[in-house]
Structure 1
Amino acid sequence: MPSKYHKDNKSSEYELQTVPKEQKVLSKKQHAFNRLTQRIESLKQDIREDSSKLDILMELYGNEVAPQYPRIAELRINLAKVLARATERINFSSRHYSAIGDAIVSLCEEAFGDIDMNPELEELYDRWSAESYRAKLSQRLYRAKEMFADMMRDRYDVDIDVEDIEDSTEGFAQFKQRMKAQVEQDRQQFWQERHQKSKRQRQQEAAKKAAEEQKQRSIRSIYIALAKVVHPDGEKDDAAKVVKEEVMKKVVAAYEQQDLQILLTLELEWIHQTIENLQQLTDEKLQVYLDVLKQQADDLEKEKVELLHSPKYGAVAAYSSMPLNIAKSRILKDKRELKDYNGWLMAAASAFRSLDAKHSIMEFVAAYNERQQNNSADDGWYDVQI
């Protein structure tokens, strides 16, 4: 059974497949080989397209939307200050005064995630809030500790006393890193001890090790064989030398990444160019390829999922499931809405400075506080909601 290296006219990508000689029926392993190589190429293409799309969206978001939030934060703080000063020159009822205080606190809390804290802002917040900024920050940190402790218990069956976690944000971050490192160390030790418990497990470990060594030998053997025939140093023809240089770069990159599928593609591409009929792959060699390709496909599946949920792209997560053109349009639409909101905040602050602003202030405060109550499921400390 020879192999065939086929190039689609619509694409520059080569498709790696085993094909029957004349009418010979493919075996199950040969079918599995074809399915896996096709699946891997498809996954790689998906990841390339998703990465490119997310990078484009991140650049657009970073240039157009992200700069709006610090401006909004400053305008929110400015509006909170204007409201506070209005209470000094306008006579409000105790009920209205309390409602204005609630709005001032909410405006400050919405701004804190996008603005540097300073003593003046802390004093403003403390004046109108039932709890001080420091106390509120401490409560938030304590909730974060509890959530981390719950996660460690549910995921790793590790009990943590939240009182043992440092009280500062930096200390908490360092504690989390130490705990994750300890859990990983304990996990490795557990499996090491478990692997040593029985003869059967030791045999399984030995077989796994042998399979890994066979995999490495297969990858290395392909690499060496290709390097011998495509290395450009021995090529006298300039045009052929350029071609070999490009192929050699791909071979070296695939070997460094331990990418068997790419090495196989390069191997069969080169052989197809020089030999009419390819010899049949032995079942032993084919099984080694299948084992490696299965693992590679699983890793790519995981990489594809993790890419869409990566913190790196968190800012554009809401757009990731949209087609690129629609996502770009939505980002630009969000920018326009944020700019409109900027203008509204500026206009409100300007209007509230007038002597007859009492009625407009109370209309704003009533609407704003109602919106905050509707959003009460999220405390909004560091989430800007428009």
Structure 2
Amino acid sequence: MHIKSPGVGTDSLSKAQKEFNRLTKRIARLEKEVIDFREAATAMRQRVQNEYRPLQARHNDARAALVRQLDQAFETYKLTKGEKNKITDLIGQCIDLLERGHENLQPIIDKHAPPLSEEEEAEADKATSEMMKQLFTIQYGIEFDPDVDVSTQAKFMAYVDEKMAEREAEYEQQEAQAAERRTRRKKSPKQQAAEEQKQAEEKNITKAVRTLYMDLVKHLHPDLEPDEAEKLRKTELLKQVTTAYQANELLTLLRLQLELQRIDQSHLENLAESQLKYYNKLLKEQTRELDEALLAEQQDWSAFTGKPYYFTPTPVAMELDYQHQKSGLDYKIKQLEAEVLAFGHDPAALKAFLKTHKIPKAGTGPLIFGR
């Protein structure tokens, strides 16, 4: 869809015609980007399932083998107290394996992570509760009553739900009051004129799209077609026309008109400026909707990968990130398998490995041992 200039360059085109060309070009590009990204994400999800998930399972198997080897070395090798402490720390960092198909590691995990005393458990629960309070205060603005009992997760969430419900009710009440004030407020003549103009423009836009729609419906009506094959073709086209009309997709209706020879290039070039104005408003809205659709696809992929949506904004970036993740995981697996083999036969290799490990200081948070 393009309005051609009758002269050289684009100087002979009006401002509205140039805007029409710019918008139709952008819509065509966005439509392709949305389809390409959606198809690439669908294919990539399948590849992750078929290729990457098995690698993750192999990686966890290798980590589990290393845990067993470290535990065996702890019991059989002549190690210093510091080296044993490092092994205990490394094994503790693999606690996530219990939820990844390696429940049989529980005795080893328990042996190297003895249960906390009642006092330590109470202190840990208190610290967790305080941290959660701060988090919800910062993120949601919830103020916690100093006397409220949030000692368990159920009590904590019940209190949060109560506060959120109170805030929601307060917000709805404020909105209702604001709406009532707006209703009572008398519009100025200028505001009234602007509102009437907006309503008139919306009516004209709707009329412009409906005119295109009715022309195509009359041309494609299957009941008037005696040939069965042509009747099926027209029925399918009519579905496309109806879908485009319901979605206010002006460009799709114009394309169909061109394809069905209901209009020609000269028709586009001779569109009245007032009609182009309404067309351009619709095209801008379609552009906005396509921008939102592309962002939604990118955010869906972001939710799948756990990375910001702008990290993989295109199928090419998606592919590069996947290859990087896959090759990195493959390298880790080979490294772990080599270490398990070496540590099982050579205490010196284990000691050299432990020498490079630093036990995190208290307060730095848990680390996942994903070597």
The question of a shared fold, defined as TM-score above 0.5 by the shorter chain, is answered with yes
Q: Deviations over 1:171-199 (max 9, x none)?
A: 59x959x77x9499759658746754744
Partner of residue 51 from structure 1, selected from 38, 44, 47 = 38
How far, CA to CA, are the matches of 1:213 and 1:117 in structure 2? 66
Task: Kindly state the Cα deviation for residue 75 of structure 1 after the two structures are TM-superposed.
Answer: 3.2
Q: Deviations over 1:311-367 (max 9, x none)?
A: 34426879836774x96577456545534533443443355455xx43222222233
Aligned to 2:350: 361
Partner of residue 336 from structure 2, selected from 342, 345, 351 = 345
Q: Deviations over 1:1-49 (max 9, x none)?
A: xxxxxxxxxxxxxxx2345679994332222122111111111112222
Aligned to 1:97: 84
Partner of residue 256 from structure 2, selected from 263, 266, 271 = 266
How far, CA to CA, are the matches of 1:184 and 1:226 in structure 2? 50
Aligned to 2:225: 235
How far, CA to CA, are the matches of 2:54 and 2:161 in structure 1? 32
Aligned to 1:37: 24
Q: Deviations over 1:278-300 (max 9, x none)?
A: 79444444333222221221232
Code of the aligned partner of 2:340:
A
Task: Kindly state the Cα deviation for residue 94 of structure 1 after the two structures are TM-superposed.
Answer: 1.7
Instruction: Using structure 2 for the length normalisation, give the TM-score.
Output: 0.70
Aligned to 1:288: 278
In structure 2, relative to structure 1, the CA distance for the partners of 1:51 and 1:79 (3 Å cut) is: same
Aligned alpha-carbon RMSD (Å): 4.9
In structure 2, relative to structure 1, the CA distance for the partners of 1:300 and 1:275 (3 Å cut) is: closer
- Gapped runs of 5+ residues in structure 2? none
- 1:44, 1:300 within 8 Å by CA — same for their partners in 2? yes
Aligned to 2:212: 222
In structure 2, relative to structure 1, the CA distance for the partners of 1:63 and 1:183 (3 Å cut) is: farther
How far, CA to CA, are the matches of 2:93 and 2:195 in structure 1? 59
How far, CA to CA, are the matches of 1:184 and 1:22 in structure 2? 63
Identity of aligned residues (%): 22
Instruction: Using structure 1 for the length normalisation, give the TM-score.
Output: 0.68
In structure 2, relative to structure 1, the CA distance for the partners of 1:262 and 1:90 (3 Å cut) is: same
Does residue 251 (structure 1) correspond to residue 241 (structure 2)? The answer is yes
- 1:195, 1:205 within 8 Å by CA — same for their partners in 2? no
- 1:125, 1:132 within 8 Å by CA — same for their partners in 2? no
How far, CA to CA, are the matches of 1:195 and 1:27 in structure 2? 40
Code of the aligned partner of 1:44:
E
In structure 2, relative to structure 1, the CA distance for the partners of 1:63 and 1:232 (3 Å cut) is: same
How far, CA to CA, are the matches of 1:331 and 1:345 in structure 2? 21
Q: Deviations over 1:101-132 (max 9, x none)?
A: 222222335x4675577992763563399999
Aligned length: 353
Aligned to 2:2: 17
Code of the aligned partner of 1:150:
I
How far, CA to CA, are the matches of 2:51 and 2:3 in structure 1? 49
Aligned to 2:143: 161
Code of the aligned partner of 2:297:
L
Task: Kindly state the Cα deviation for residue 251 of structure 1 after the two structures are TM-superposed.
Answer: 0.7
Secondary structure (helix, strand or coil) at the match of 1:17 reads coil
- 2:343, 2:349 within 8 Å by CA — same for their partners in 1? yes
In structure 2, relative to structure 1, the CA distance for the partners of 1:385 and 1:104 (3 Å cut) is: closer
How far, CA to CA, are the matches of 1:124 and 1:212 in structure 2? 72
In structure 2, relative to structure 1, the CA distance for the partners of 1:302 and 1:116 (3 Å cut) is: farther
In structure 2, relative to structure 1, the CA distance for the partners of 1:206 and 1:363 (3 Å cut) is: farther
- 2:3, 2:269 within 8 Å by CA — same for their partners in 1? no
- 2:98, 2:104 within 8 Å by CA — same for their partners in 1? no
- 1:73, 1:114 within 8 Å by CA — same for their partners in 2? yes
